[in-house]
Amino acid sequence: METIVVTGAAGFIGSHVCEALLAEGYGVIGIDHFNDFYSPAVKERNWEAVETTAKRLGAGGRLRLFRSDIRDAGEMEQVFASAPVDGVIHLAAYAGVRPSIQQPLLYTDVNLNGTLVLLDILQKHQVKRLVFASSSSVYGNNKKIPFSEDDFVDKPISPYAATKKAGELLCHTWHHLYGIKTACLRFFTVYGPRQRPDLAIHKFTRRMLAGEPIPFYGDGTSRRDYTYIDDIVDGVMRALAWTKGEGSRFEVFNLGESNTISLSEMVRTLENVLGVRAKLERLPAQSGDVNVTYADVSKARRVLGYCPSTPFEEGIRRFVKWMNEQPQE
């Protein structure tokens, strides 16, 4: 049995990844700080769902959790000394473009120093497989559409984007120096059950159901490549398997739907699914927000066999079903 460390294990993407690993027979060591970036109770429920899945699969003995901070080298040493580790899926980070502009020092500390601590531990414990969560934000206001992994990405427009690009560079350095086989995954606007409450689809749904106005930035023409969580998890699992291959391996992959939805279209879809008319609080476009994200996923299709398959409206229906089952914060 292989054992995989998942950082950010109680988060939106992390909790789903843990469940997928358990379903495929892996041992899972989760790391999460349960900080107050958003309500810790949300993460507690996410982790309870992982534990429920483990019990259903008879995999309780394959699951462990460390409530630790990736910036703390001593705590990370305890994690990696607790059992032989075969690979790491590094999802832990402070996320979000707008809050990173308000708290750039915090974002740099967690996203870069935390990643450095983790890379150092990988080297010390001779862990040779890494999947790193990057972001579509690294593309900035790229003029070439769709975005390709070979595009120039040295002009980020938010501290968050800068930390993700820098994280890719750090991963490459450790790959070069120590032979860590690494897949850097640029996620494109992930949504679905357990989505963070501060993200647009979750926030809009909650406010629309409560009859409250939703913040509508710009003229509604900004576009995002919304990607359903199941498709992202499939890509993560494929990337992990790819790191087990022969030879020196370092690649960057886009994981998106390869389709764009405008802000106005997203709101109309929510209206259709919820049966509720949105009240718009019109606001100016925000600094750091990009105009469009659009993934060219041909490389991930060719190399990983990645094939996103969830239509946007179907994904929204699944999200709303989950949302209606949740306690309200």
pLDDT of residue 38: 87
pLDDT of residue 326: 82
- What is the chain's length? 329
Distances in Å between the alpha carbon of 29 and those of 7, 32, 49, 64, 123?
A: 9, 10, 15, 5, 18
CATH number of 3-324: 3.40.50.720
pLDDT of residue 328: 63
| Greater model confidence, 113 or 36 | 113
Where do we find the tokens 């497989």?
129
Mean pLDDT (the chain, rounded): 95
Mean pLDDT of 34-50: 94
Mean pLDDT of 198-225: 94
CA dihedral 150, 152, 158, 160 (to 10 degrees): 30
pLDDT in tens, 213-232: 999 999 999 999 999 999 99
Percentage of the chain beyond pLDDT 70 is 99
Distances in Å between the alpha carbon of 111 and those of 7, 82, 299?
A: 12, 24, 26
Residue 256, pLDDT > 60, answer yes
The answer to whether the beta carbons of residues 175 and 128 sit under 8 Å apart is no
pLDDT in tens, 126-145: 999 999 999 999 999 888 99
Residue 291, pLDDT > 90, answer no
The answer to whether the beta carbons of residues 103 and 288 sit under 8 Å apart is no
Q: Which residues are catalytic?
A: 160
| pTM, full prediction | 0.96
Mean pLDDT of 298-325: 97
- Token pair for residue 60? 């309780």
Residue 288's pLDDT band, with cuts at 50, 70 and 90, is confident
Instruction: Please state, in angstroms and rounded to a whole number, the distance separating the CA atoms of residues 171 and 167.
Output: 6
Residue 57, pLDDT > 60, answer yes
pLDDT of residue 285: 83
Q: Characterize 253-289 residue by residue with b for buried, 16 or more Cβ atoms within 10 angstroms of its Cβ, and e for exposed.
A: bbbbbbbbbebbbbbebbeebbeeebeeeeeeeeebe
Instruction: Please state, in angstroms and rounded to a whole number, the distance separating the CA atoms of residues 258 and 227.
Output: 8
* 35-44, 158-167, 305-314: the lowest-pLDDT one: 35-44
Tell how strand 261-262 and strand 223-224 pair up: antiparallel
The answer to whether the beta carbons of residues 316 and 195 sit under 8 Å apart is no
Backbone dihedral region for residue 247 (phi beyond 0: left; psi -120 to 50: alpha; all else: beta): left
Residue 329, pLDDT > 70, answer no
Rg from Cα positions in the chain: 19
